[in-house]
Amino acid sequence: MVGKYLGLVAVLTVLVMIMTVIYVVFLQFGQIEYQSPSIIMAGIFVVLQLCLISAVAMTLGIVFNSLLATPLTLGVYLVGNITQDILKFGRLSNNPAFESFSQGLYVVLPDLSRLDIKNDAVYGWQALPDVSALISNGLYGIFYSGMLMAIAIFIFSQREF
């Protein structure tokens, strides 16, 4: 399981690196100003987001069959990008049951918006969150991925073939 995950992460990392280089070449070709550190940081966070989604896909693939795991992974990706909005909507609803439900979703589902700094990176290094927020968000992605992989390994070890 770990080897499969690390291989998938390695392939995704190489693909993101290639796409980042192509993006920078187009920026150079178009003579558009950019800041390299912000582009690199955005690439790192894209890799962290893909690592988290890969861990979700592997965990769901262990629990469910692949026909069900694929749409569930897509659903987790879509809802994971709006979890903060769901939490705010729950607070605005003035309904205690819906507020508890939205808080439960926020706790259980990954908050992928924490790992999305692409838009900030376009505006340069100054537009990115501060270093402590970047570190905490990066550690969040790594920790969440590790926990999902630990769950997947545990479930896989309990299976009888």
Largest pairwise CA distance in the chain: 59
Q: Is the pLDDT of residue 125 over 70?
A: no
Residues in the chain: 161
Residue for token digits 């582009």? 39
Distance of CA 36 to the CA centre of its chain: 22
pTM assigned to the model: 0.87
The answer to whether 117 and 144 are in contact (CB under 8 A) is no
Q: Is the pLDDT of residue 42 over 80?
A: yes
**In the numeric block, which tokens belong to residue 85?**
């909005």
Helix/strand/coil for 121: helix
Task: Please write the tens of the pLDDT for every residue from 48-98.
Answer: 999 999 999 999 999 999 899 999 999 999 999 998 899 899 899 888 999
Task: Please write the tens of the pLDDT for every residue from 108-120.
Answer: 999 999 998 888 8
Positions of E strands within the chain: none
Q: How far is CA 48 from CA 80, 87, 113, 143, in A?
A: 14, 23, 12, 11
pLDDT of residue 20: 94
Within 8 A by CB and 6+ apart from 91, the residues are: 99, 102
pLDDT of residue 6: 95
Q: Nearest 5°: CA angle at 28, between 36 and 18?
A: 65
